[in-house]
Amino acid sequence: MTTPTPRVLLPSGATKGEVFQVRTLISHQMETGLRHDKQGRVIPRKIINRFACRYGGVEVFSVDLHEAVSANPYIEFYLLAMESGRLEFLWEEDGGSIYRLEHQLAVA
């Protein structure tokens, strides 16, 4: 399996009080645990089970993902621009690995 690569697309700046769009994608197989290999053994579940977005250290949005989320989970959501600060994106995988990205947002 290739290493999951997270990607995020959002504006670099916003005006205070504005709603801005955040688009995130992580390349990930999202193995459901329902499939079998050629020997008939169950291929163990390995999915991204949680996604979170922190804005200035505060969690402002999160998702609990289950098996029925498609491979390469794409999540598009909307936040309110409050103050300039760091946006942190975290993807938690079964088994405890965490993939993260950061983004600086300037609010005028």
Partner 1 sequence: MGFTRREMLVTGGVGCAALANAWFSPANAAEKAEKDDTAEFVARQMGRAATESVRLHLTMPAVFPTGYTVPMDLKVDSPMTEDDHVKRISVFAPQNPLIDVASFNFVPRRSVPRVSTRIRLAKPQFVVAVAEMGDGTLLMAKTYVDVATNGCI
Q: Contact positions toward partner 1, by CB under 8 A?
A: 1, 19, 32, 34-35, 37-38, 55, 58-71, 73-80, 82
Residue for token digits 């794409």? Answer: 74
Least gap, CB of 69 to partner 1 (angstroms): 5
Which residue number, 45 or 101, has a Cβ lying nearer to partner 1?
Answer: 45
Which residue number, 3 or 66, has a Cβ lying nearer to partner 1?
Answer: 66
Q: Please state, in angstroms and rounded to a whole number, the distance separating the CA atoms of residues 47 and 106.
A: 33
Least gap, CB of 49 to partner 1 (angstroms): 10
Q: Please state, in angstroms and rounded to a whole number, the distance separating the CA atoms of residues 4 and 41.
A: 24
Residue for token digits 């020997």? Answer: 39
What 3-state DSSP class applies to 54? strand
Least gap, CB of 108 to partner 1 (angstroms): 18
Which residue number, 66 or 108, has a Cβ lying nearer to partner 1?
Answer: 66
Q: Report the half-sphere exposure of 61 (CA within 13 A, side-chain side).
A: 15
